[in-house]
């Protein structure tokens, strides 16, 4: 079947992002591989940002809104930039001295943070509330759980936390101690300056007016998400990094939708949906719904009915081809060409009892209904981590099988964590293990599996990339009982670094431990498995938080860098031959 692109489903007057492009590839590889890589500063690949601070600030404002305090912000930001420039001349280390463009960006970010605090917009408040709930402190590393002095206003500790969190986005590949003296000095200067300049400023803010608009329809929420993710002081630098890594530098609709709905960030693992949910003045039930938007129901949908009023298609009902569920989808789209029986691929998110398209959709020409069984099977086999979001029975089957395979793995190797000297020996050992599994299986199941997978011998095909097979720096194989098998290369440096308990780490060991924590392909369960044997002191040292209790530091770092693992997760195991839909309950 040949796809054609839809014309978009959100009315232009809603100010939502246009939906015109085909979706990005979905699904994830069954094997997690660790790969060393360095991130670039977003200011390094963005378009020229060396113009005045005033332009940074203007670009961040929500369009169509104004506040009495807005007109003062650009001048404050320019003056703050001059103050920061003077301050960094006296720094002891080059580490915290920023070039012109990042310094201008920082001045704008700090003024927008101050606006948030001054006008009680609620973005920073949402972050501190999350931290308090998770860690017993509003700002881990900066405020002790038993701290007697509460945070208020432009507290230097707040500014120091902001600076420490965003510093890698301003100056790439720099790991600072949260208590770095130059960072602390910068925070103190900014705190004093902002306290003085905002003291007499009106609390009337365009951002606050924007976020206080109606929340009745899903596209009104989406409009706020897009602004928060792309333009707010909390997320815009992180968004640029994300686009550089996932969108080849181009901020497409699909990449943007992934960032605002699904991505977790270094802000204690919070995503854009989490911060917006905490900041909006909506019932708790709405907050809970918004926090589920990372579970977009991405699937093939068969349009059943269209409700049209005049020129506008108000609603369509559509059946999810994979789970059989019928969804009522609010469209609000004039001159919509969609008709019953149309097949659409896209993602849906809920809001107040209705569903809304999220991101991009792809429509297909006439597709016979008898093809739906094939689409269902392919989705469960190739994109299972997405299908499990709405195929609950299949998700539970996958969990049960993953627990079973975990037991078989541990029984075979005598442990759920095994270290191999190189990739070739790991591949040979895994091939041997799988052949033993197949020999122990009932012959009729083996024959069926061979037919389905086109195999000529009773063993599965195991494909590893050449660089993985050629790797000689040690590979760790861990079977996560909740999600499946994980592989990590460079494991010799990880183990030797952990065993040193934070003392005299080599550069390679520090780099390996840094990647252990920051690489999204390695689960917290893997990290905790290692820490249970070797302690967390070396990880704390690698992140320059040696003065913090190691276990507490690790808990915060894992949230910051692996936030997606603290949401609902599914096994990496895919199901094949699950049967037709009428034999499956959802």
The answer to whether position 94 is within a domain reads yes
Out of 198, 227, 255, pick the residue that ends a domain. 198
Q: Which helix (H) or strand (E) holds 100?
A: helix 100-118
The answer to whether position 209 is within a domain reads no
The answer to whether position 36 is within a domain reads no
21 plus 93 within the same structural domain: no
Tokens read off for 556 = 């915060």
Mean pLDDT of 72-76: 95
The answer to whether position 440 is within a domain reads no
Domain count, the chain: 3
12 plus 49 within the same structural domain: no
pLDDT in tens, 251-277: 899 999 999 999 999 999 999 999 999
Per the CB < 8 A criterion, the answer to whether 197 and 76 are in contact is: yes
Cβ-in-10-Å burial (0-12, 13-18, 19+) of 445 comes to: exposed
The answer to whether position 232 is within a domain reads no
3 plus 55 within the same structural domain: no
* Number of neighbouring beta carbons within 10 Å of residue 489: 25
The answer to whether position 484 is within a domain reads yes
549 plus 405 within the same structural domain: yes
285 plus 148 within the same structural domain: no
Strand 475-480 vs strand 312-320: parallel, antiparallel, or unpaired? unpaired
pTM recorded for the entire structure = 0.88
3-class SS of residue 211: helix
316 plus 377 within the same structural domain: yes
Per the CB < 8 A criterion, the answer to whether 348 and 23 are in contact is: no
119 plus 151 within the same structural domain: yes
Tokens read off for 501 = 């308990």
Give dist(CA 178, CA 431) in Å, integer. Answer: 46
Residue 250: which domain range?
1-26+245-390
65 plus 183 within the same structural domain: yes
Give dist(CA 446, CA 438) in Å, integer. Answer: 7
46 plus 194 within the same structural domain: yes
114 plus 249 within the same structural domain: no
The answer to whether position 427 is within a domain reads no
- Reported as a pLDDT band with limits 50, 70 and 90, residue 128 is very high
Give dist(CA 270, CA 127) in Å, integer. Answer: 8
143-147, 167-171, 352-356, 532-536: which has the minimum mean pLDDT? 143-147
**How much is the pLDDT for 43?**
56
Mean pLDDT of 155-182: 92
Out of 174, 198, 222, pick the residue that ends a domain. 198
The answer to whether position 575 is within a domain reads no
Query: Which runs of consecutive H residues, i.e. helices, occur in 459-581?
Result: 466-469, 491-499, 507-518, 524-534, 537-542, 550-561
- Reported as a pLDDT band with limits 50, 70 and 90, residue 332 is very high
191 plus 178 within the same structural domain: yes
Give dist(CA 284, CA 329) in Å, integer. Answer: 23
305 plus 189 within the same structural domain: no
């Amino acid at each position: 079947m040949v796809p054609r692109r839809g014309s978009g489903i959100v009315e232009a007057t809603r100010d939502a992002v246009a939906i015109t492009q085909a979706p990005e590839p979905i699904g994830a590889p069954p094997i997690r591989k660790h790969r060393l890589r360095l991130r670039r500063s977003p200011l390094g690949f963005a378009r020229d940002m060396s113009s005045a601070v005033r332009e940074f600030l203007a670009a961040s404002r929500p369009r169509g809104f104004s506040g009495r305090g807005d007109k003062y912000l650009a001048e404050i930001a320019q003056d703050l930039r001059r103050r920061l420039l003077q301050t960094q001349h006296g720094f002891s280390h080059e580490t915290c001295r920023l070039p012109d463009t990042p310094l201008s960006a920082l001045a704008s970010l700090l003024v927008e943070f101050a606006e948030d605090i001054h006008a009680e917009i609620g973005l920073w408040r949402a972050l501190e509330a999350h931290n308090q709930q998770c860690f017993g402190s509003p700002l881990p590393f900066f405020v002790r759980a038993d701290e007697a002095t509460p945070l208020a206003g432009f507290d230097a500790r707040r500014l120091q936390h902001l600076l420490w969190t965003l510093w890698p986005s301003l100056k790439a590949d720099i790991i600072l101690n949260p208590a770095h003296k130059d960072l602390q000095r910068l925070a103190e200067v900014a705190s004093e300056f902002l306290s003085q300049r905002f003291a007499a400023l009106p609390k009337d803010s365009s951002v606050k007016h924007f976020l206080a608009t109606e929340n009745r329809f899903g596209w009104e929420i989406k409009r706020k998400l897009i602004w928060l993710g792309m333009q707010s002081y909390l997320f815009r630098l992180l968004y640029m990094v994300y686009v550089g890594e996932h969108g080849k530098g181009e901020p497409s609709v699909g990449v943007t939708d992934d960032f605002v709905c699904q991505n977790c960030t270094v802000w204690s693992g919070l995503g854009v949906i989490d911060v917006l949910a905490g900041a909006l003045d909506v019932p708790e039930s709405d907050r809970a719904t918004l926090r589920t938007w990372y579970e977009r129901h991405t699937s093939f949908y068969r349009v059943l009915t269209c409700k049209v009023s005049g020129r506008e298609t108000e609603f369509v009902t559509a059946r999810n081809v994979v789970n059989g569920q019928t969804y009522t989808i609010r469209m609000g789209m004039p001159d919509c060409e969609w008709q019953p029986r149309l097949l659409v691929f896209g993602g849906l998110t809920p809001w107040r009892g209705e569903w809304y398209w999220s991101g991009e959709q792809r429509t297909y020409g006439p597709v016979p209904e008898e093809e739906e069984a094939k689409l269902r099977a392919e989705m469960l086999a190739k994109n299972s981590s997405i299908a499990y979001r709405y195929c609950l029975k299949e998700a539970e089957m996958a969990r049960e099988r993953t627990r079973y395979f975990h037991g078989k793995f541990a029984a075979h190797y005598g442990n759920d964590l095994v270290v191999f000297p190189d990739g070739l020996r790991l591949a040979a050992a895994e091939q041997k293990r799988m052949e033993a599994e197949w020999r122990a299986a009932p012959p009729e199941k083996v024959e069926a599996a061979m037919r389905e997978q086109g195999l000529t011998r009773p063993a599965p095909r195991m494909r590893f990339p050449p660089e993985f097979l050629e790797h000689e720096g040690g590979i760790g194989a861990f079977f996560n009982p909740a999600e499946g098998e994980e592989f990590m290369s460079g494991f010799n440096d990880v183990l030797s670094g952990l065993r040193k308990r934070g003392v005299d780490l080599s550069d390679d060991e520090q780099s390996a431990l840094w990647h252990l924590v920051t690489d999204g392909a390695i689960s917290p369960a893997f990290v905790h498995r290692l820490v249970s044997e070797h302690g967390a002191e070396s990880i704390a040292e690698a992140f320059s938080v040696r003065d913090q209790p190691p276990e507490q530091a690790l808990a915060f770092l894992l949230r910051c860098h692996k936030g997606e693992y603290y949401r609902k997760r599914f096994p990496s195991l895919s199901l094949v031959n699950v049967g037709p839909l009428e034999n499956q309950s959802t």
